[in-house]
Structure 1
Amino acid sequence: MKSLVLIALAYFSALIQVPESLDKEVVLSKQTLTVKEVLKELDRQSSFTFSYSNRIPLQKKISFGKQSGSMRYFLDRISRDYAIQYKTVNEKILLLREKKRSPTKKKKENATISGYITDASTGEELIGATVYIQELETGTVTNVYGYYSLSVPPGEYTLVLSFIGYQRQRLTVPIEESQTLNVEMAPEEVQLEEVIVTASETIPEVQEMEMSTAKVDIQTIQKMPALLGEVDVIRSIQLLPGVSTVGEGAPGFNVRGGSVDQNLILLDEAPVFSSSHLLGFFSVFNPDAVKDIKLYKGGIPARYGGRLSSVLDVRQKEGNTKRFGLKGGIGLISSRLLAEGPIQKDKSSFMVAGRRSYGDLFLRMSNNEDINNTIIYFYDLNTKVNYKINDRNRLYLSGYFGRDVFGGAVENLRFDWGNRTGTLRWNHLFNDKLFSNFTAIYSDYNYRLAFANNGTDAALEEFEWQSSVTNRNLQADFTYFPSLSSTIDFGVSGIYYDFNPGSVTIRTNDQPPESPLDLNEEHAIEAAAYFNHEKKFGDRVTLQYGLRYSAFMNIGERDVFEYENGTPSPDNAVIDTVSYGAGEIIKFYDGLEPRFSLNYSLSKQTALKVSYNRLFQYIQLVSNTTAATPIDIWTPANQYIQPAIVDQIALGYFRNFRQNTFEFSAEVYYKNFQDLIDFRNGAELILNENLETELLSGNGRAYGLELLLKKREGRWTGWLSYTLARTERQVDGINNNEYYPSNFDKPHDVSLVLNYNINKKWNASANFAYMTGRPTTPPAARFVYQGIVVPDYTGRNGARTPDYHRLDLSVNYEPPPKPGRRWRNSWNFGVYNVYARRNPYSVFFRPNSDNPAITEAVQLSIFANLIPSITYNFTF
């Protein structure tokens, strides 16, 4: 009873709290200030925040007779001198310019309310935060830069702002004319009391335009079980429907029947060509530096292009504009550290995050010379700075630098590869309805393979092989908000590519370096322009349509081979070489890429969605291995290789239950591929001057059903997904010209992700994955030639490896922070592959060692046992 009385007293005392008085004494820095400077000083010295109309003369100066006085005094002076009205709402002060009286009545035009939604603790913009107008039962979400804009008839409205993991805010705002309303949202503490479901005042995902889209917040990913405690963005999205991998430790991921090179992976808008470390065991994304992750599997907006199957859009943190902080962790494989803080408080900030593995440090402790000389490690460096010039202009500069290094074990071998990216962005508001983003991007992927003589050949000192692909990109993107029911996106972009397929250098004693093989570099330009319009028709129908035009020019300086019969083939000899000068167009391709999506709401909780998109891909990865490797070659469309094309159509049913606590979706899709490249049987792809002679072009198809049941709130959260899918290829010259399963065809794929909040200190998570074994090509027969057993392969991918399944568990312990201390820490304890399943990575065939007349199948497993892990994390 006593507890109930105390709770009641606390509740009623909160109700009778009143905002800080306008009679509070404040002191200005000087007697003459601009209106904007006065408002900033009043904001700093009080608990009030200010929202003001765009018509307020912020740069006008006003002279006071004194520097100190009440807030009311200074506001009254501004109101009197510049005909400004002000009104207090809770702890906000709204300023509006008084309108001139007109002798004739005019119809009131819509007013626009716009601004940025930010994190109150860090100052970072929130992507995808909901701004819902209660009276109109509609709203919008912030864009990828945290900006929103709503045009509504004049009146007083209740705005409800919500974002996962943040306290919901409700604001009563009179909107008589266009005004800026920037809002800070406070993160919410985890509540473990009884969950009471109430009517939702946000926009359910069923009402949003997007389909075939997945957004996983980084907080959820950080709680999921991970291999050796390494939180991994790529492994996490592989647990979503329609996303798979060819095997344990394989780099990249496959989406709806697409190969790994058909995914456009963006880090702060810069393309990343290799998304994995340690040959696929970990991703290149440091979880501490990641702010937002979004995966498009279909219905891809017109602003994206260049890949056939998906877009993975990863955004880095901007840095804390409020205060300095540290965050990091120590694990079994690597350690990481992030530092962030304001350069100028509330105006500019920085973020620097580093991560490095240290397996090589432990190998040096071995008594075995071959082992202690082995080098094996990876590192990442993420950087970002941003500067708020004024309310209409913001600058962002970010970079990523990552590399893997192997070496030392065999003949002084050294093998390293990595990505470098840089992004410079300028956000500019032309007005409250027109938002723009101008971007300059640099991206480079390169690898190097080298070894030095170890005494076996006195003449040879060193061999080195280098390859790279580099692009430089300029783009301009615009968003126009003409009305509450309409949003228009448009823009242009241009990319310049440099492809270096391979360059070999040999250094010998007392001789200058030689280049016995230097493959022709290729250069290309890819340009695009797009338009996209999203329009709501009443309460039930939302339509999105768009068009992207793309063009690709393969240009010189380069030599091009010509073949007999005009067709590159190992059987056709080179009959001529044509030289093209710098900038001269060798081959030109272009095409239109239409996009279309429709959302029909059966009710507020149920919707049907349909989408169609066509995409062109002008650069492709050439590989004759099941899983991509760092030395695979990116090659552009040219006179012999056509750009790949895909048409995808998808239909989905979406339903929310129990006031958006549960989400269910079912989607079916069909994809038709054209001009996909594959390799001939027995192809030689490495350092081949005539690479086009080893390639074939064909078509493909992929189709499937994806089911997803997701729980968003409560002690238990997580999702259950199931994918039923097929993906096949048809290439003349392979498999008797008939369709055959692609390397990543897996008809059945089931994933279960669970997270349980035990109490305020303990949290438990579990992942379970099951999928059909991948296709493989067994020998159909064999023959003996001069005592050597030679296998004979016929049909491609005619068999499968055994099915794959795995269970992972983890427990997170986070003690409550001590009062007054910013230091927080947590422990993660995990077990990967709990029941020690020997999942097959591949199956190969060889003669039996005891009886060579017998051919035996051998299964290779990457992990054949359970793998425990422990990680210590901290924030300050």
Structure 2
Amino acid sequence: MKQIFIAVLSICFTITVNGQKNFTLSGNIRSKSSGESIIGASIRVLNSNHGTSSNEYGFYSISLAPATYEIVFSALGKMSDTVSISLSGNIEKNIILSDATYELASVVVTGKKSFERNIGGSQVGLEKLSVQDAKNIPVIFGEKDLLKTIQLLPGIKTAGDGNSGIFVRGGSTDQNQIILDEANIYNAAHLFGFFSTFNSDAIKDVSVYKGGMPAQYGGRLSSVLDVRMNDGNNQKTSVSGSIGLISAKLNIEGPLQKNKSSFLITGRRTYADMFLKLDDQYKNNQLYFYDLNAKLNYELGKKDKLYLSGYFGKDLLGLNEQFTTNWGNGTGTLRWNHIINSRMFLNTSLIFSNYNYEFKVKNGTNDIRIFSQIRDWNLKQDYQYSINNKNNFRFGWSVIYHIIRPGEITSNATSSINDKIQDKRYSCENAVYASNVFKPHKNLNITIGSRFSAFSVLGGGNFFNIDENGAITDTLTYARDEAVKKYYNLEPRVSIGYLLSPSHSIKAAYTRNAQYMHQITNSNGTNPLDKWASTSNIIKPQISNQYSLGYYSNVFNRRYEFTAEVYYKDMENILDYRNGADLFLNETVETQLLFGKGRAYGTEFMFKKQTGKLTGWVSYTLSKSERKIKGINNNQWYNATQDRTHDISVVGICQLNEKWTLSGNFVFYTGNAVTFPSGKYQVNGQTVYYYNSRNADRMPNYHRLDFGATWHLKKTKKWTKELVFSLYNVYGRENAFTVNFKDNKDKPNVTDIMQTSLFRWVPSISYNFKF
């Protein structure tokens, strides 16, 4: 394995040596209005095939032969800037881009946009999303929500009505790595999934990798959702906010020292609990969530910049004094950017991540508390080295120390219930990676790299050996941080892009991933009481191999974007549950698990209109996701819970005039795979249902239409005001949330099917402002 890894690294280091000496043009690209660094800005050399893009921190570097060049700098939503540069030595050139101006005409809205992001390069399965993309799309309760908008893209499926969980290319919700400013988010949902943890006012950029993940990412099988917070405006202080029917938010940002440092503070809170206080019956109940995003950044010098960012969020639900539960995430990221020289960029990060839930019940003299937690400490470094105009090399390493408190039950001194505290689980996840973006021909791009991961299961309690029936055969005790078992995985990645013409390209990719953290849950989506378990002596790392092929085109004078991708993914060590599994606070949860293999394959299409009075997209996914696990379905292939044959989304945004913007979206998807009873019998007067094949049935098909309208009240250089109206589920479709079975009261041999639906119509209105 070591020899293979060394061979891959050698390939990554392969470079093309030019016959003459090149010089380097480098610098930072920022927004004129806010001073924010611009991610993914395009740097293009006119009359040549040379170009590059800015990294996650706005830094760019390009090597060229000595000459005079016309270089175009551009970014989505910004006016492009053409700069003439005479290159006779290394030059540092910082670029400031102004906001694009959009003038409403009778038919089209004009402005500079990037149409080439899907054509060039070799990246497969990448979806980019800006806050502007999500601004006008109607969602439940009228809250701008990036996760809800992402669910409208091909290959990404919602976990359910009002749910922030996502299924990506046949994977489960825990197979998605969700990171906010490099920190892992283990539960990205508020209010049982009706809101996501991401306050759109604090977000700058979102990238979703669903195939061909770059080598710097690892730890999940299906996708990476990389969310970057705003840095804060270093030009002027500004305040923005929103007041809606059930929530309000406020954003404050500004310079600490103009052009050098800035701050950002964004808060959000629901106030549904305040309405409960109007009724004496419910006045002691609690139902709300809050979150807070904060960030500071400071330029230490021309080559150094320091960032400190954090997120804190919590949900609380309480019924009088009898029952309360709260859960939430907390993250902190300290980053240091350093420009080593004009070609090499270094980012060093120290990252903290925490997720926990607490459940309290008061029953007579018994005060019971249930608690669970997962906490990470992460240290990492990422290097980016622009070797020459044909090679861009990236490498780095990371160390993550995981601490899991699987579950604790404690009670007061007078309680009749004994305390039960499960052993903490400790583990260390290490990785090194290297990759090279190579352009051997003007029409050909190749990215090749690898990630080598090592996972150490560490002691600090009891570990078990079990037989094939789940019975414990042996109990072993290990001291704190004593090595219990180690796993090693090589994760190669390669992607190739070929430009058929300036408007058409094809791409192919292969990616291997290993996942060491696993979610133990009885639900299909996101549940605050879900339990996380690390790889152990029994639970092995999940492994996937994904193959992707795509065709990309900009058609009709580049006003429309068309993409088509096919994929196949095989998976090893996929876990599922024994029949009748008991998961809640089970200290021997491994005895309830079964392991096997999985496969997922499908085709994704998207047709997108990006200019004009009417914009939007249509996406369609045809897919299959299956599992084969010994002990389930007679050891035959069966549908994964998240298997859906068809998934369709239609999104439209119409700019009527300067005052009104209308929007709407329609979604349809095949119902989730479920297991319904195939018979029933009586035992001691009680009905017992008989189940046959797992996930052989379907929930009813889901479809829904939403409508939204934005009334722009005022827009000047100093003030922006608007009212946003939306209606969720316009025609009142009663989509199934759960389906239950019970005996008919009059005819016990007849079974009644009971469907529960969450929403019919959900109207909302909110007032947004900025000054």
Q: Deviations over 1:618-644 (max 9, x none)?
A: 111011233342111111111111110
Q: Give the match's secondary structure for 2:119.
A: helix
Provide the residue aligned with 1:737 in structure 2: 635
1:847 to 734, 739, 743: 743
Q: Deviations over 1:312-364 (max 9, x none)?
A: 00000000000111011001120000110001111000000000000000011
Deviation at 1:852, TM superposition (A): 2.7
Asked if 1:415 corresponds to 2:320, the answer is no
Q: Deviations over 1:742-777 (max 9, x none)?
A: 111110011011111111221111111111111111
- Whole-Å Cα distance in 2 between the matches of residues 139 and 203 of structure 1? 12
- Whole-Å Cα distance in 1 between the matches of residues 575 and 76 of structure 2? 42
Provide the residue aligned with 1:874 in structure 2: 769
2:603 to 699, 705, 715: 705
Asked if 1:536 corresponds to 2:439, the answer is yes
- Whole-Å Cα distance in 2 between the matches of residues 185 and 669 of structure 1? 38
Report if the CA contact (8 A) 1:200-1:660 is conserved.
no
Q: Deviations over 1:4-39 (max 9, x none)?
A: xxxxxxxxxxxxxxxxxxxxxxxxxxxxxxxxxxxx
Amino acid at match of 1:414: T
Deviation at 1:198, TM superposition (A): 11
Report if the CA contact (8 A) 2:76-2:112 is conserved.
no
Which is higher, the Rg of structure 1 or of structure 2? 1
CA 1:515–1:109 in 2, change beyond 3 Å: closer, same or farther?
farther
2:339 to 429, 440, 449: 429
Please list, as runs of the form range in 1=range in 2, the aligned pairs for 1:637-786 lying within 5 A after superposition: 637-786=535-684
Provide the residue aligned with 2:4 in structure 1: none
Provide the residue aligned with 1:612 in structure 2: 510
Report if the CA contact (8 A) 2:616-2:651 is conserved.
yes
- Whole-Å Cα distance in 1 between the matches of residues 745 and 237 of structure 2? 64
Q: Deviations over 1:284-321 (max 9, x none)?
A: 00010000011000000000000000000000000000
Provide the residue aligned with 1:215 in structure 2: 128
CA 1:129–1:769 in 2, change beyond 3 Å: closer, same or farther?
same
Deviation at 1:201, TM superposition (A): 9.3
Q: Deviations over 1:439-475 (max 9, x none)?
A: 000000000001223xxx34x2x10010000010000
2:48 to 136, 150, 153: 136
Asked if 1:545 corresponds to 2:448, the answer is yes
Provide the residue aligned with 1:114 in structure 2: 26
Amino acid at match of 1:672: D
Q: Give the match's secondary structure for 2:163.
A: coil
Give the structure with the higher percent strand: 2
Provide the residue aligned with 2:753 in structure 1: 857
Q: Deviations over 1:209-228 (max 9, x none)?
A: 21101001111101111211
Identity score, percent: 40
Please list, as runs of the form range in 1=range in 2, the aligned pairs for 1:338-357 lying within 5 A after superposition: 338-357=251-270
Deviation at 1:817, TM superposition (A): 3.0
Deviation at 1:508, TM superposition (A): 3.1
What are the ranges of 5 or more consecutive residues in structure 1 without an aligned counterpart?
1-105
CA 1:259–1:204 in 2, change beyond 3 Å: closer, same or farther?
closer
Asked if 1:835 corresponds to 2:731, the answer is yes
- Whole-Å Cα distance in 1 between the matches of residues 66 and 172 of structure 2? 51
Give me the TM-score of the superposition, normalised by structure 2.
0.95
Provide the residue aligned with 2:402 in structure 1: 497
1:231 to 119, 144, 165: 144
2:89 to 177, 202, 223: 177
2:205 to 288, 292, 298: 292
Deviation at 1:576, TM superposition (A): 3.9
Report if the CA contact (8 A) 2:714-2:722 is conserved.
no
Deviation at 1:107, TM superposition (A): 8.1
Asked if 1:399 corresponds to 2:304, the answer is no
- Whole-Å Cα distance in 1 between the matches of residues 114 and 85 of structure 2? 16
- Whole-Å Cα distance in 2 between the matches of residues 866 and 190 of structure 1? 34
624-633 vs 262-271, which moves further: 624-633
Amino acid at match of 2:32: A
- The structure whose RCO (Cα within 8 Å, separation 6+) is larger is 2
Deviation at 1:250, TM superposition (A): 3.1
Report if the CA contact (8 A) 1:684-1:694 is conserved.
yes
- Whole-Å Cα distance in 2 between the matches of residues 576 and 655 of structure 1? 59
Amino acid at match of 1:472: W
Deviation at 1:192, TM superposition (A): 1.5
Count residues with an aligned counterpart: 753
Q: Deviations over 1:679-724 (max 9, x none)?
A: 1010000111211111000111000000011112222211110000
Deviation at 1:868, TM superposition (A): 1.0
- Whole-Å Cα distance in 2 between the matches of residues 200 and 804 of structure 1? 34
Provide the residue aligned with 1:97 in structure 2: none
- Whole-Å Cα distance in 1 between the matches of residues 114 and 633 of structure 2? 56
1:484 to 369, 374, 389: 389
Provide the residue aligned with 1:187 in structure 2: 99
What are the ranges of 5 or more consecutive residues in structure 2 without an aligned counterpart?
1-17
Provide the residue aligned with 2:12 in structure 1: none
- Whole-Å Cα distance in 2 between the matches of residues 421 and 541 of structure 1? 40
Q: Deviations over 1:178-210 (max 9, x none)?
A: 111111111123222255999999855311221
840-849 vs 109-118, which moves further: 840-849
- Whole-Å Cα distance in 2 between the matches of residues 577 and 803 of structure 1? 47
Amino acid at match of 2:332: G
Deviation at 1:660, TM superposition (A): 3.1
- Whole-Å Cα distance in 2 between the matches of residues 523 and 514 of structure 1? 28
Report if the CA contact (8 A) 1:139-1:203 is conserved.
no
Asked if 1:527 corresponds to 2:430, the answer is yes
Report if the CA contact (8 A) 2:331-2:353 is conserved.
yes
- Whole-Å Cα distance in 1 between the matches of residues 114 and 88 of structure 2? 23
- Whole-Å Cα distance in 1 between the matches of residues 691 and 454 of structure 2? 40
1:595 to 493, 515, 519: 493
Please list, as runs of the form range in 1=range in 2, the aligned pairs for 1:190-589 lying within 5 A after superposition: 190-193=102-105, 195=108, 203-367=116-280, 369=281, 371-409=282-320, 412-453=322-363, 457-458=364-365, 460=366, 462-509=367-414, 516-563=419-466, 567=467, 569-570=469-470, 572=471, 574-589=472-487
- Whole-Å Cα distance in 1 between the matches of residues 73 and 65 of structure 2? 19
Provide the residue aligned with 1:10 in structure 2: none
Report if the CA contact (8 A) 2:312-2:329 is conserved.
yes
CA 1:201–1:144 in 2, change beyond 3 Å: closer, same or farther?
closer
